[in-house]
Amino acid sequence: MAESSREDLFQLIKRFGAYLTVKMSSFFSLNNLDSRSVGAIAGLALAIVFTWRMFRSPSGPQRRPPKRQAPTTSNSIASPQSNTTLIPVGISSPPEDLRAQNVVDEFFQPVKPTLGQVVRQKLSEGRKVTCRLLGVVLVESSPEEIQVTQATVRSSVLEVLLEITKFCDLYLMERVLDDESEKKILVALENAGVFTSGGLVKDKVLFCSTEIGRSSFVRQLEPDWHVDTNLEIISQLARFIKYQLYVSPTRPERSASNVFSSPSLEQFFGCL
C-alpha cells in the first residue's frame, strides 16, 4: 500500500511539473526567452525537491489493522457498528479516492488562453500590422459598394481588431473612388468604437486611389504583418514583409512560406 501511495504521489509531482512548465512558458514568452527550457528546469527542480523530501522523511511505524474476530455461535447476526471496525484506520474508501482524483484532475486541466494571449502568439510578437479594410474589417468587398451604400464594420472582427491595437501599431488602408467614400468608412469605424480604445486614431487610416498605392503604403511602413484579400499584392509583398495573412474563402494553390491563409481575420485567431 505504501509503494502504491508513493507512486501516486510521484505521478502527481510529474503532472504538477508539466503544469508549471506551461505556466512558466506563458509567463516568459513576453521576454522572448527560451521559455520551454526555463519552465522544464523549474518543473524538474520542484519535482526533485518534493521527491527528495518524500524519501528522506522516515516512515513512521505502521499501525496493524485490527484482527477480525470470528463470529460467535451465540450471535450469528453482526451489528452495523461491528462492521465499521473492519476497515483499517488511515485507508480511505473508494468514493473518497475518486473525489480526491477529481480535484486533482480539475486542478491540472489546461487553462484556456485569453484572446490577448492568442493574438500575441499568432502574431509572433509582431509590433506593427497593416490591414486592408474591404473584405476584412468591412462587410463590403469592393470600392464600388462603398460608393453606392454605407460602409459597415463586421461585428465579429471588432473584438480582434481592438485586441490587436493593444499590442501592435495598427494601420488600416483601402482604395476608394472618391472623398465621400473616405468619409463613409471613417464614420463607420467611429460608430463601431474602433477609435475609442486609444490604440487606433484616424491618422492611421490611409486611403489611396489604386491597388499599387496600397502596396506602396505597406512597403513604406515595413510592418511585421500585412493582411489583405488581393492575392497579387500578397505575392508581390512576400519577399519584403515578414508575415502576411491572405483572407479568402479558398486557399491559394501555391504561396510563400511566410504567407498564411484564413477565411477571415477572426477565424485566424480562433474566434469562430
Four-residue CA torsion sign, 241, 174, 233, 217: negative
Please tell me whether residue 86 adopts helix, strand or coil conformation: coil
pLDDT at 121: 87
C-alpha to C-alpha distance for 212 and 206, rounded to whole angstroms? 13
Nearest to 39 by CA among 48, 53, 28, 51: 28
236-256: per-residue pLDDT in tens? Answer: 999 999 999 999 999 888 889
Q: Which residues lie closer than 8 Å to 185 by C-beta, 6 or more apart?
A: 133, 138, 146, 151, 174, 176, 205, 207
179-188: per-residue pLDDT in tens? Answer: 999 999 999 9
Query: How many CB atoms lie under 10 A from the CB of residue 146?
Result: 26
Query: How many CB atoms lie under 10 A from the CB of residue 95?
Result: 8
Place of cell 485490527: 66
Alpha-carbon separation of residue 38 from 21, 29, 46, 112 (angstroms) = 8, 11, 12, 21
Weakly modelled stretches of the chain, pLDDT under 50:
29-33, 59-60, 70-85, 87
Contact between 169 and 128 under an 8 Å Cβ cutoff? The reply is yes
Q: Is 254 left (phi over 0), alpha (psi -120 to 50) or beta?
A: beta
For residue 43, with 0-12 CB atoms within 10 Å meaning exposed, 13-18 middle and 19 or more buried, which class applies?
Answer: buried
Place of cell 453482526: 78
Residue type, 124: S
pLDDT at 78: 43
pLDDT at 81: 47
Q: Which residues lie closer than 8 Å to 38 by C-beta, 6 or more apart?
A: 24, 25, 28
Cell of 116: 490577448
Phi, psi of 63 (to 5 degrees): -80, 130
C-alpha to C-alpha distance for 20 and 43, rounded to whole angstroms? 6
Query: How many CB atoms lie under 10 A from the CB of residue 94?
Result: 7
Task: Establish how many alpha carbons lie within 13 A of residue 30's alpha carbon, considering only the half-sphere containing its beta carbon.
Answer: 8
Mean pLDDT score of the chain:
78
Q: Judge if pTM exceeds 0.75.
A: no
Contact between 248 and 229 under an 8 Å Cβ cutoff? The reply is yes
C-alpha to C-alpha distance for 1 and 144, rounded to whole angstroms? 77
